[in-house]
Structure 1
Amino acid sequence: MIGHLQQQTDNRRQQPRGHGLDLATQAWGAVRAASGLLISAHGKPASTAGAMQLDTREPRFQLEQSAELARTLADSAHQRDARLPGDPEPAAMSSTKGLLASQDSLKGSDTTGDGSSSGGGAGTVPTLTRPDIVIAAPGGITGSTPAHTVASAGNTASFVAGQDLQQLAQANSATVVKDGLVFFTYGTAQNPRKPNTETGIQLHAATGNVNTQSQQGATRLTADRAFSVASTHGMVKVTAPQHILLTAAGAAIRIEGGNITLSAPGKVEFRANQKELGGPKSASAGAPQFPRPFGLSLEPETPPSAQLLDHADFPASWLPFGVATTTVWTQGGRLLARSQCGSLAVITLTPEPQPIVYRHETRAAPWSLEEYIDVADEPASPADEPEAPEDA
């Protein structure tokens, strides 16, 4: 319904319930746009110059700001060695490339019209260069459900906030990665009016324990200024199976092999009300046991890609019926295509989209159109044989 919205029973108009646009159904709904879809709450003036169908100036500007912020913070982190071995430069990171690709997608333009339907057009109109869904709103975007929310990306997922980014959970929160994890903060509060002006990284557990482990490597804690280790109500225990070395200003205490060695460039003083030297005695402290290492191999998810079939290789005289364009989608090395009548035309395994070969033959039976992929090294299994296409 569009315009003045009113409650309606059969053909009776009742109380008003709003103004604008209302799409409602008790069944299913779908919105499809093969070249891209823009959902925006940014108002546009009723003029041709400012009311183009795919005017994406606002989300494009927001993406440019987000990409610049992400690049600046990544540069700062790399300059301070907050990076993993083998990390590329910020400009070559997959997250940066993803943001730039999203920007480029919003910069498309079209100067041609559909002559068969609208008689063409004049001038240039903004378009999307790839089939994206763009959502933009000046006031905010809210997504809510009392059940579950799933967000999945086959390549990278970027969350960029100009101010604060919060992740809250009433129960548990887990972050699991396969390769490496980096935490970095610049440590300077830009807004003096923020209620919490502390900078740096704060890790607090109000109750329970804090447990950090390097199960197959070293742990290094380094500070430019003071470094403090304290227990307010218990003890501090330091244990090592080989030796412990404490050094400061050239003096050292080394505990190794059942011996304690004191070294100092100056004097060593023992001050106590009473000195007692007894016989030999040993002590031990148990160290935690790590789980046995295991290998983790994850195959990267193959992002979906589309291949457009335009049937350009067919002489029009071959076909007693008209054909239109068809899109073939591949994902994870599996290519699926459907014929014009909707029956399954191709199922085979390919590492990437392959050229489609068109086959025809003259026979007395009604015409049929077949689309197939010729992959000599990977023949289709019997379960993957295509269904016979329907007669045109």
Structure 2
Amino acid sequence: MTARVTSAKANDIYAWQDASGLYRVKFDADREDKGQGQESMPVRLAKPYGGDVYGFHFPLIQGTEVAIAFHEGDPDRPYIAHALHDSRHVDPVTEKNSTRNVIRTPANNKLRMEDKRGEEHIKLSTDYGGKTQLNLGHNVDAIRKLRGEGFELRTDSWGGIRAGKGIFITADSQPEAQGKVLDMAAVHSLLTQAVSQMESLSQAASAAKAQLLQYEQQQALMEEKLLALKQAVLLMSAPEGIALASGSHLQAVASENIYMTAGQNVELGAKKNITLAASEKISIFTETEGIEAIVAKGDLISQAQSGNIEVIAKQNISLTSTTEGMTFTAAKTLTFTCAGGAYIRLSGGNIELGCPGDIMMKQSKLLYSGPASMQSNIPELPDSGPQSMSFMLLDALGNAAPSTMKVTLFDSKSKEQIWSSAFNDGESGCFEPPESENFHAIIGDDKWTSLFSYNDEHDIEDETDDDLDFDEHGPQYDGELNEQDKE
């Protein structure tokens, strides 16, 4: 017998079921005017697969035509055998698209599998937030025009890809899905080659007494983290190139190191400025072809604001001004020497000439006059004074910490106390630590109830032991100061 699914709600867009998932139906042969949603006893829906917490679950909504069967022919035990399409609810798969296999919900959540030979594809989609789709194979639009091939994961809303154990993205070919999922032979070869290149350059730099490259750390990164995704990393590889493009900004951040290796050239270009800054050292080394620094317009400035400038060449050093002059200035002494022992020294208001041999002077005239002097223009360099820092302690509402709270700093190696200060209106006194010094900071009251970490991993623990055991609790402040004051 045929019937239609009913609901106690008019124009219900969702399935109307009881607590057991049973439906109400109105038989097509039933001419009695019963209350809406009370046209039949509760009936079950037969499914091709079902069990306790599993099975096929596609709820039927109001107006769906169904076929009613009776268990063992008992008219008091009806159930919904299956759902039917009719003239009012035409089958979405007809002679026009008979090669398609579709699962689609009333809200247009859809799984479509196309079986037309040469155009096979799978589409998984939802209309929430616009369109979110996973397209596989021969991808087409609404009028079956080709959009592309392969796979596409797209959305009009936000997107995220997350894998807690690591992600491997590669354009290296693996035909017919032969091989392991994490087959990294190609990227392994590239990474090994990069480490080998850096090792070779590091050896050349060592011979020249230049800054060594940390190729051992690159080797450790490759072997201990990247290969086989031993740790939670993102590894990307492509045999013919990778491009990153942004219409605005592009940022690369690493809490430790950034390694860049090229088999040939590394080229940096900017329409305006390129700025390099390091809190410790910048080292430049070339093995064979030299270094060029050319300024088409403007000045070339080199300063050592608290140290020396040393220029050494195995052959000649040439300084030339093509249109103006040259000035050598020293605050105390200016000395010119030669390997043979001859020298000229300018110091104070005196000039001293000395040599173990002869002084030869060739001129048309030698003119003498009274004393004269020239004012030296000594530039004033910036003074990078001592670093300083202070602590502020507020509660969640922004109120200042009580005066019973204090901060104490301990040396990260010896664990000896190096400074302590109470909080006054939520702020501690200023501390001037040694440059680039690592230390632990503990903030709390006399029982040290609160432990804070400088690297934003805030650990809050209850600890009443007066003996501060860093090995048990781990570092609570482990940061390296830079050239800027931290407060």
Q: Specify every segment of 5 or more residues in structure 2 that has no aligned partner in the other structure, as ranges.
A: 1-134, 390-439, 441-449, 469-487
Matched, 1:74 2:202: yes
For 1:20 and 1:373, the matched residues in 2 are separated by 52
Among 292, 310, 333, the alignment partner of 1:202 is 292
Which residue in 1 is equivalent to 2:362? 271
Q: Which amino acid aligns with 1:14?
A: R
Kindly state the Cα deviation for residue 128 of structure 1 after the two structures are TM-superposed. Answer: 2.0
Matched, 1:65 2:199: no
Distance 1:295 1:74, change over 3 A: farther
Which residue in 2 is equivalent to 1:286? 377
Which residue in 2 is equivalent to 1:184? 285
Kindly state the Cα deviation for residue 297 of structure 1 after the two structures are TM-superposed. Answer: 7.3
Q: Quick check: 2:195–2:218 contact (8 Å CA) kept in 1?
A: no
Distance 1:79 1:376, change over 3 A: farther
Q: Which amino acid aligns with 2:342?
A: A
Distance 1:76 1:7, change over 3 A: same
Q: Which amino acid aligns with 2:351?
A: I
Provide the TM-score with structure 2 as the length reference.
Answer: 0.52
Q: Which amino acid aligns with 2:362?
A: R
2:155 alignment partner, SS class? coil
Which residue in 2 is equivalent to 1:311? none
Which residue in 2 is equivalent to 1:4? 138
Kindly state the Cα deviation for residue 185 of structure 1 after the two structures are TM-superposed. Answer: 0.4
Distance 1:147 1:284, change over 3 A: same
Which residue in 1 is equivalent to 2:352? 261
Larger RCO of the pair (alpha carbons < 8 Å, separation 6+): 1
Q: Which amino acid aligns with 1:221?
A: V
Q: Which amino acid aligns with 2:373?
A: S
For 1:106 and 1:144, the matched residues in 2 are separated by 24
Kindly state the Cα deviation for residue 376 of structure 1 after the two structures are TM-superposed. Answer: 4.7
Distance 1:296 1:177, change over 3 A: farther
2:188 alignment partner, SS class? helix
Q: After alignment, is 30-39 or 175-184 more displaced?
A: 30-39
Q: Quick check: 2:210–2:285 contact (8 Å CA) kept in 1?
A: yes
Matched, 1:26 2:156: yes
For 2:188 and 2:330, the matched residues in 1 are separated by 56
Q: Which amino acid aligns with 1:237?
A: T
Greater radius of gyration (CA): 2
Kindly state the Cα deviation for residue 374 of structure 1 after the two structures are TM-superposed. Answer: 5.2
Distance 1:297 1:98, change over 3 A: farther
Percent identical among aligned pairs is 26
For 1:376 and 1:99, the matched residues in 2 are separated by 44
Q: Quick check: 1:350–1:375 contact (8 Å CA) kept in 2?
A: no
For 2:302 and 2:194, the matched residues in 1 are separated by 33
Matched, 1:175 2:284: no
Among 303, 324, 328, the alignment partner of 1:238 is 328
Q: Specify every segment of 5 or more residues in structure 1 that has no aligned partner in the other structure, as ranges.
A: 84-88, 108-126, 188-198, 299-332, 334-346, 357-371, 379-392
1:70 alignment partner, SS class? helix
2:148 alignment partner, SS class? strand
Q: Quick check: 1:36–1:131 contact (8 Å CA) kept in 2?
A: yes
Q: Deviations over 1:338-388 (max 9, x none)?
A: xxxxxxxxx974689x9x9xxxxxxxxxxxxxxx9655579xxxxxxxxxx
For 1:22 and 1:43, the matched residues in 2 are separated by 18
Distance 1:165 1:295, change over 3 A: farther
Kindly state the Cα deviation for residue 103 of structure 1 after the two structures are TM-superposed. Answer: 2.9
RMSD: 2.8
Which residue in 1 is equivalent to 2:307? 217
Among 227, 243, 249, the alignment partner of 2:317 is 227
Q: Deviations over 1:109-145 (max 9, x none)?
A: xxxxxxxxxxxxxxxxxx4211111111111111101
1:250 alignment partner, SS class? coil
